[in-house]
Amino acid sequence: MSVEDGGIPGLGRPRQARWTLMLLLSTAMYGAHAPLLALCHVDGQVPFRPSSAVLLTELTKLLLCAFSLLVGWQTWPQGAPPWRQAAPFALSALLYGANNNLVIYLQRYMDPSTYQVLSNLKIGSTALFYCLCLRHRLSTRQGLGLLLLMAAGACYAAGGLQDPRNTFPGPLPAVAASPMSLHITPLGLLLLILYCLISGLSSVYTELLMKRQRLPLALQNLFLYTFGVLLNLGLHAGGGPGPGLLEGFSGWAALVVLSQALNGLLMSAVMKHGSSITRLFVVSCSLVVNAVLSAALLQLQLTGTFFLATLLIGLAVRLYYGGC
């Protein structure tokens, strides 16, 4: 399996096992993000400022990267600090900042499962930027695999989850006393398309940047998240009056911040040593996690089309990586 195909050539079994575990953890965190945000709602609204969650997530990632360098988990490069190589990460931070804020704002215009399904449009945008910017041609099998991922998302959107209010027997548990129906507004759809385009561009640009620079991953992340903290600090300060930085935060909100920070670090490793296409498969496979959590926590009900979508995702993985 080549780097371009999303794997790591020449890995021994222990390292391959760690790589697989990292991808599984990232899949779980992606799938849990939208349901966790829904659990933060109070009277149907997010009780904290979205910019606060994004800023705290970026700050957590920055502190974790700095800690990694300080304790020697990754070696600081010899000679003068390569500060000039930090500048290109400003664009990455800008793209990621816009994307991360859109994720939270999107929750106002659609339910978590609809967001998770339709956000798979990023498969097409990422594959397009991947081929154009990295000049990597996909084989017929790989292209078909990506199309199957798109089909899985469409199949899931057609009825992978069902509003349980007419089918759930008896009273709902307290955590889901007000079950959330599947919905999306026209503005939500436009914002989602913008989100997918920015997601594809940010992913491919960051991959290109990280692979061209011969720097430790923790140092590259330090550059990226320094810009990210500065950008989001400005967005938070310029957002006008509103709740304080930690106002409205709960245990669920803290879990959202921590999981997103850890997942961001895992994805940076995928960009450095794998590819943006690997990230696509992680996001698509997270549909399964999202659906199971939505069924358990939000009382949405799985249907037969969910299992069909899961099968299509499995076939897509086999097609894309089976010949590697």
Using one digit for the tens of pLDDT, what is the confidence trace for 1-24? Answer: 444 444 454 556 777 888 889 999
Q: In the predicted model, what is the mean pLDDT of residues 152-157? A: 76
- Tell me what pLDDT residue 176 has: 40
- Alpha-carbon span 52 to 257, nearest angstrom: 10
The answer to whether 112 and 38 have CB atoms below 8 angstroms apart is yes
- Average confidence (pLDDT) over 150-173: 59
pLDDT at position 173: 37
> Would you say 59 and 228 are in contact if contact means Cβ atoms under 8 Å apart?
no
Choose among 266, 270, 290, 286: nearest CA to 278: 270
DSSP H helices, the chain, are 13-39, 50-70, 89-106, 112-118, 122-134, 140-157, 186-212, 217-237, 251-273, 276-297, 304-322
Q: What is the pLDDT of residue 314?
A: 92
Comparing 166 with 31, the larger pLDDT belongs to 31
For 54, 170, 193, the CA distances from 180, given in Å and listed in that order, are: 24, 17, 23
CA–CA distances in Å: residue 170 to residues 8, 64, 127, 173, 177: 50, 46, 46, 9, 11
Q: Is 48 left (phi over 0), alpha (psi -120 to 50) or beta?
A: beta
Determine the Cα–Cα distance for residues 208 and 135; give it in Å rounded to an integer.
11
Alpha-carbon distance of 54 to 37, in angstroms, equals 12
Question: Tokens standing for 324?
Answer: 């590697």
pLDDT in tens, 254-285: 999 999 999 999 999 988 888 989 988 998 88
Q: Are 271 and 90 in contact (CB under 8 A)?
A: no
Whole-structure pTM value: 0.77
Any bridge partners for residue 226, and if so which? none
Q: What is the pLDDT of residues 191-214, one digit of tens each?
A: 888 998 998 999 999 999 999 988
As a dihedral over the C-alpha atoms of residue 173, residue 176, residue 178, residue 181, rounded to 10 degrees, the angle is -130
Mean pLDDT of the chain: 81
| Residue 122, SS3 per DSSP | helix
